[in-house]
Amino acid sequence: MTKQRRRELIQIGHTDGLDKRGMAGLIAFIAAIAACFTYFFLPLEGFYITSIIVVAIVLLPHLYIIRDEEYQALSKEERKIYMRGFSYVIINNNLKAVLVVLLAFWAYIYTFGAI
């Protein structure tokens, strides 16, 4: 594979990530809010474990392109290179959404003595 083809695949992955980041961010935001609600129903350790699991799940960029036909048509090596661009956008976007919600909630419960 040529260097030009690698750059092209990374750029295609990056632009596809930009296309899908809105829905991915919304899913991450909803998952983070759901993790915050577990605070009221589970013990504190359950809340922390749920928060960590949510962060780990939303940071998996493969979840958003499982059904993408163009991605499935690529070879294994091309998929790996494509994911460099795609995952850069998705991981940054989702990490921001989840951490804003979780850190704001943790700050709220620590500030107002809910723990």
18: Cβ contacts below 8 Å, ≥ 6 apart: 89
pLDDT on residue 59: 86
pLDDT on residue 31: 92
26: Cβ contacts below 8 Å, ≥ 6 apart: none
The 10s digit of each residue's pLDDT in 3-56 is 999 999 999 999 999 988 888 889 999 999 999 999 889 998 998 899 999 989
pLDDT on residue 50: 92
pLDDT on residue 114: 66
pTM, to two decimals: 0.82
List C-alpha distances in Å: 75 to 7, 67, 79: 16, 15, 6
pLDDT bracket for residue 63 (50, 70, 90): confident
Q: Dihedral of the CA atoms 14, 20, 26, 32 (nearest 10)?
A: -50
The 10s digit of each residue's pLDDT in 69-88 is 888 888 999 999 999 999 99
pLDDT on residue 9: 92
Q: Which of 40, 31, 37 is nearest to 114 (CA)?
A: 40
d(CA 75, CA 44) in angstroms, rounded, equals 45
pLDDT on residue 29: 92
